[in-house]
Amino acid sequence: MEVEDLIRHGGVGWMGGSGAESDVVLSSRVRLARNLEDVPFPGAASDEQREHVYELVRSATQRARGLGNLQPFRLDDLPALDRQILVERHLISPQQADGGRGRGVVIRDDEAVSIMVNEEDHLRIQGFYPGLELERAFELATRFDDFLASELRYAFDGRLGYLTACPTNLGTGLRASVMVHLPALTMAEQMRRLAHGLGQVGLVVRGLYGEGSEMAGSIYQISNQLTLGPTEDEVLSHLQEVTRQVIQQERRARQAMLEQNRVALEDRVWRALGTLRYARRLSTTEALEHLSDVRLGIDLGLITGIAPTILQELLVQIRPAHLQRLTHHEMTAEERDVVRASWIRRRIARALGEQTQA
């Protein structure tokens, strides 16, 4: 499997629209941070030490049985464009894509699992599932964690738990998150209040690609802040419970908009669809905002004939690195805006059974 093979898959499998509460929750992710005994954390390790860790992990995953088809990638062997594609598919972090010797990733061919090697920690094991499926994502990540623990010696302390480069990951090393689409709460300007409320109960709201990333398309990540103290079950249960409350708030906000200002809402979603059908130039942010509105219209039954998963599909395909790989040449930002608009026009025309617009 090569990076090019991921591109041919089109959308990302774990954002395929199935799973519980999929009208609001796009996906669930569980990430386990682990480090090896007697090796400095990646930030303090030498190039040779990081290379050694990568080889240990690569060799171990080659011995895995019953865990699927796993492919290792040494990141410093990949061009910058391919590394960015892995970021856009959430398989590595933006920080890891910046490179450095010994950094790598092991990816299962369905993209439901990725193991980042020598990011902030030696191992960051990620399990993904569509919809609100935190327990299933945790079970998936744990299967790989258990296997790697049988092959490698983890740094663990009886009092502090798993030892990590950042103290905020001590203990379970567990970060669980849900990717949610909250257009009604965003339009009602309730996100600041919601984020504050979530912070009060130990959760944090971030952008599409985690800490420090953009807020676009009314898509957010909600994740736990505490890893030391609560058990894995408590972390997952708490996030699941609070996410269900957020889902209820979003659905109530959608219904209120539909009942109280239907004409304005219809105008907004149909204008968004019209822009996507006919625009000749679209930035990533503008495209995501219009796709968000169209998805809201689909979920509320105002727009028919288009599958709701068009948001997840195009969320990946219209990103800068994907566009350049799909067209097989590098482009300026202005050129990407033109190609992005063309790509979206063709995709929507296909969904509606129309002749593709020129």
- Tally of domains in the chain: 2
Of 230, 253, 276, the residue at which a domain comes to its end is: 253
Mean pLDDT of 26-51: 96
Q: What are phi and psi of 328, to 5 degrees?
A: 65, 30
The pLDDT assigned to 61 comes to: 94
Residues 269 and 216 in one domain: no
**pLDDT per residue over 245-254, tens digit each?**
999 999 999 9
> 212 falls in which pLDDT band (50, 70, 90)?
low
Which pTM was predicted? 0.92
Evaluate whether residue 357 is within a structural domain. no
Q: Which domain holds residue 102?
A: 3-253
> What distance in Å separates the CA atoms of residue 96 and residue 103, rounded to the nearest whole number?
7
Evaluate whether residue 108 is within a structural domain. yes
Residues 246 and 266 in one domain: no
Is 262's pLDDT higher than 90? yes
Residues 110 and 183 in one domain: yes
Evaluate whether residue 162 is within a structural domain. yes
Residues 244 and 334 in one domain: no
**Whole-number Cα distances in Å, 279 to 96, 118, 304, 327, 338:** 35, 42, 20, 19, 9
Residues 59 and 161 in one domain: yes
Evaluate whether residue 356 is within a structural domain. no
Residues 86 and 114 in one domain: yes
Mean pLDDT of 151-169: 94
> 216 falls in which pLDDT band (50, 70, 90)?
confident
Q: Which of 100, 94, 225, 115 is nearest to 167 (CA)?
A: 225
Evaluate whether residue 321 is within a structural domain. yes
Residues 268 and 248 in one domain: no
Is 240's pLDDT higher than 70? yes
Residues 105 and 207 in one domain: yes
Residues 56 and 200 in one domain: yes
Q: Which of 94, 69, 88, 100 is nearest to 15 (CA)?
A: 88
Burial state string for 88-124 with b = 16 or more CB within 10 A and e = fewer than 16: bbbbbbeebbeeebbbbbbbbeebbbbbbbbbbbbbb
Is 244's pLDDT higher than 80? yes
Residues 267 and 249 in one domain: no
Evaluate whether residue 80 is within a structural domain. yes
Residues 163 and 46 in one domain: yes
Q: What is the CATH number of the domain that holds 235?
A: 3.30.590.10
Evaluate whether residue 173 is within a structural domain. yes
> 171 falls in which pLDDT band (50, 70, 90)?
very high
The token pair at 203 is 């959760």
Q: Average pLDDT over the chain, rounded to whole?
A: 92
**pLDDT per residue over 325-350, tens digit each?**
888 888 999 999 999 999 999 999 99
Of 253, 285, 314, the residue at which a domain comes to its end is: 253
Residues 267 and 216 in one domain: no
The pLDDT assigned to 158 comes to: 92
Is 23's pLDDT higher than 60? yes
- Opening angle at CA 226, ends 207 and 94, nearest 5: 35
Is 264's pLDDT higher than 60? yes
Q: Which residues pair with 310 in a beta bridge?
A: none
The token pair at 309 is 């998963």
The pLDDT assigned to 11 comes to: 59
> What distance in Å separates the CA atoms of residue 183 and residue 253, rounded to the nearest whole number?
9
Of 196, 224, 253, the residue at which a domain comes to its end is: 253
